[in-house]
Amino acid sequence: MEKDKLYKLKAEASGLKPILNVGKNGITDSVIEEVKKQVKANRLVKIKMLKTTPGAENIKDAAQELADSTKTTLIEIRGNTVVLYR
């Protein structure tokens, strides 16, 4: 992805509120379906990975797993917040 587009998406994402919290059940089928639905409607989504999320100690792996499962692009990880784009 081009740097200019990446910067624009990050700037746009900074104004978003997380639409979904991933908690102790982790990345389940229902989470994947909800993310797909939200990405289809909004194209850019912010997701909060709670500290109780299995695999939260390695947020990069969990975020990449979510991106792969939903066929989206991982734009940014900031703390426990993940931004996905399609």
Per-residue pLDDT at 73: 97
- Please say whether the beta carbons of 36 and 43 come within 8 A: no
Domains and CATH numbers, the chain: 3-85 (3.30.110.60)
* pLDDT one-digit tens code per residue, 1-30: 899 999 999 999 999 999 999 999 999 999
- Please say whether the beta carbons of 84 and 66 come within 8 A: yes
Per-residue pLDDT at 55: 74
What is the rounded CA–CA span in Å between residue 9 and residue 84? Answer: 10
* pLDDT one-digit tens code per residue, 18-73: 999 999 999 999 999 999 999 999 999 999 999 888 876 789 999 999 999 999 99
What is the rounded CA–CA span in Å between residue 42 and residue 39? Answer: 5
Per-residue pLDDT at 53: 84
Per-residue pLDDT at 46: 97
Per-residue pLDDT at 68: 96
Average pLDDT of span 70-82: 96
| DSSP-derived secondary structure letter, 18 | P
